[in-house]
């Protein structure tokens, strides 16, 4: 048994996420967590809501609520939607938790002790109309590099160049649109990332198995222009982790909070610390996942995220961990994803474009979405959601291949043998060939899942489903029954055992359908098929079963057209 620490990039609290967010981190992380548990490994799967910073303040103001109340309510909403999608977090935490406040202040204190924090007097943009300093993401203007007129104060989304707000041409407030801006003096703390550049570069260079997408982004930030830059870790805001050195005040930093991108990754650790034991008390076992001097040395730590989060997880967060000088666990593997686009455009939380997670669940069960998103995961390049492709994939893969197999074999058995698995008959050449083909494909499926090659794993799983259909079509027990009912009994028994096998293999992708298949076979035997021959006799003759409801209903042209029209506009 191995131990796997798995974290998904934590979603902002400022609203319900769209399907692009889901497939970019949480869903593939859940796939991997479910697979590792199925293989008998110990898993700690952590996520949380990212609750600090201006986005939370603005969303709360728009909702007419105190920010603390808004965050608590939205955390409950996001947790409920996550359950609806079957995301199997061991804990879904909150970056506003007392544990994260304390850990963030602890890391800041250690970094300061080690000479890795600099106090910098700087000039920042203040909006007279808004009555506040504007965080860099809330200043828009024209990029001096490429001329894009909606560049943000931290980075141009068009050319990806890193910027300072004062670099922008014709800057304006992204909150109010006001151009009544002025530059004022303020002091902030900077993490001296540049002092750790060589250590970070050596660490990244050692990760020869990481996706090219991950390492190329990391090296770009390390080496572009003047190289890795020191980064501000405090802001002039009301809502966030107060700036302190551990449990001590930080003179001159009164009224400031830590930058959300400093405290948010620390929440991975804090969320684990938020876990409680059976009696509801804090569970000190969290340290065995995070402290290499207390048992985390044998943990494999995998992070999942969209490509926009890569710089912070390959540079800033590791700089925090390394710079602390303490034995905290560093990530072993970062699985990053490109973007999922929506029907000829882009998903956008700010513009409300695309299908959002709550809307998706309101029209179809979670497994329909899980299957399409994972089988079309944007791994090597951006991918695009279209309603036509979604309909075709659901109908062909889920309804015609898997659903049809389960329906045909259970209904035939009930009609000819009753609702118990029939006995009699021995395997012939056709069954032997099927077992060999299954064994080969299952080992390939495992290889792809171990390597987190999501689309390849989905394709292999579908091929495994196809083997059952091809066998059923070739063996034709409905014809065999007329002349050799004993042989037909064997064929049916094999087919019913295939349902259990398919449920076990498919559970990481489509857990709700897998549960339904196991329930229909009246078993909770989820043992992994290390031996395919043994797996295909797990349900013996005489074992009862039920004919399940339709696993996957086909999507009609009328429904597809209706949804395509309903979701083409901006979410209200």
Indicate the annotated binding residues for ATP. 349
Are the C-beta atoms of residues 241 and 101 closer than 8 Å to each other? yes
Q: What is the Cα gyration radius of the chain? A: 27
Alpha helices in 274-403 (DSSP H): 287-290, 310-311, 317-324, 357-363, 366-375, 387-393
CA distance 496 to 419: 11
Residue 558 vs residues 387, 448, 552, 563, 565: alpha-carbon distances, Å: 12, 36, 17, 9, 11
**Contact predicate 273/328, CB 8 Å:** no
d(CA 216, CA 198): 17
Residue stretches of the annotated binding site for Zn(2+) = 143, 146, 156, 159
Task: Residue 17: name the closest of 94, 92, 75 by CA.
Answer: 75
Question: In this structure, are strands 169-173 and 139-142 parallel, antiparallel, or unpaired?
Answer: antiparallel
Cβ count within 10 A of residue 207? 16
Q: Residue 49 in contact with residue 70, Cβ under 8 Å?
A: no
For 353, other C-beta atoms within 10 Å of its C-beta total: 20
- SS3 at position 52: coil
Element (H, E) at 305: strand 299-306
Half-sphere exposure of 318 (CA within 13 A, CB side): 26
Residues at the binding site are: 143, 146, 156, 159, 349
Contact 515, 367 (CB under 8 A): no
> Which H helix or E strand runs over 557?
helix 557-566
Distance CA 194, CA 238 (A): 29
């Amino acid at each position: 048994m191995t131990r796997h620490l798995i974290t998904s990039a934590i979603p902002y609290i400022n609203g319900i996420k769209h399907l692009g967010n889901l497939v970019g981190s949480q869903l593939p992380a859940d796939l991997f967590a479910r697979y590792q548990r199925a293989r008998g490994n110990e898993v700690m799967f952590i996520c949380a809501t990212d609750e600090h910073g201006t986005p939370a303040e603005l969303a709360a103001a728009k909702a007419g609520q105190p920010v603390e109340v808004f965050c608590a309510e939205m955390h409950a909403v996001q947790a409920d939607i996550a359950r609806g999608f079957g995301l199997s977090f061991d804990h879904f935490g909150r970056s506003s938790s007392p544990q994260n406040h304390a850990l963030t202040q602890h890391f800041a204190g250690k970094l300061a002790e080690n000479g890795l924090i600099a106090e910098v007097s700087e000039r920042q943009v203040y909006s007279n109309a808004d009555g506040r300093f504007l965080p860099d993401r809330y200043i828009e203007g024209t990029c001096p590099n490429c001329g894009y007129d909606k560049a943000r104060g931290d980075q141009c989304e068009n050319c990806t160049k890193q910027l300072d707000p004062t670099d922008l041409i014709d800057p304006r407030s992204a909150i109010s649109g006001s151009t009544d801006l002025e530059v004022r003096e303020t002091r902030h703390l900077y993490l001296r990332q540049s002092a750790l550049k060589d250590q970070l570069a050596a660490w990244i260079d050692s990760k020869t198995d990481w996706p090219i997408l991950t390492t190329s982004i990391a090296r770009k930030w390390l080496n572009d222009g003047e190289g890795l830059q020191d980064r501000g870790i405090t802001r002039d805001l009301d809502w966030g982790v107060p700036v302190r050195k551990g449990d001590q005040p930080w003179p001159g930093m009164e009224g400031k909070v830590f930058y959300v991108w400093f405290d948010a990754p620390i929440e991975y650790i804090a969320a684990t610390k938020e876990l409680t034991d059976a009696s509801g008390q804090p569970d000190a076992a969290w340290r065995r996942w995070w402290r290499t001097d207390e048992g985390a040395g044998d943990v494999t730590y995998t992070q999942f995220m969209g490509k926009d989060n890569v710089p912070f997880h390959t540079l800033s967060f590791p700089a925090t961990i390394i710079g602390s000088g303490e034995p905290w666990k560093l990530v072993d593997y970062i699985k990053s994803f490109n973007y999922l686009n929506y029907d000829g455009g882009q998903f956008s939380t700010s513009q409300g474009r695309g299908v959002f997670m709550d809307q998706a669940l309101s029209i179809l069960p979670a497994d329909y979405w899980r299957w399409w998103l994972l089988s079309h995961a944007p791994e090597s390049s951006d991918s695009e959601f279209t309603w036509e492709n979604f309909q075709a994939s659901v109908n062909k893969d889920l309804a015609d291949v898997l659903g049809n197999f389960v329906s045909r074999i259970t209904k035939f058995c009930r009609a000819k043998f009753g609702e118990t698995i029939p006995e009699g008959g021995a395997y012939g050449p056709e069954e032997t060939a099927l077992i060999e083909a299954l064994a080969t494909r299952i080992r390939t499926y495992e290889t792809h899942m171990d390597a987190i090659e999501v689309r390849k794993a989905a394709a292999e799983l579908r091929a495994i489903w196809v083997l059952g259909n091809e066998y059923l079509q070739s063996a034709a027990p409905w014809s065999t029954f007329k002349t050799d009912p004993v042989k037909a009994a064997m064929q049916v028994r094999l087919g019913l055992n295939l349902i259990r096998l398919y449920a076990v293999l498919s559970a990481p992708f489509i857990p709700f359908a897998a549960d339904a298949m196991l329930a229909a076979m009246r078993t909770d035997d989820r043992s992994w098929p290390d031996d395919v021959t043994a797996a295909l006799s797990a349900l013996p003759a005489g074992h009862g079963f039920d004919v399940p409801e339709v696993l996957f209903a086909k999507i009609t042209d009328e429904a597809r057209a209706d949804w395509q029209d309903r979701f083409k506009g901006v979410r209200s």
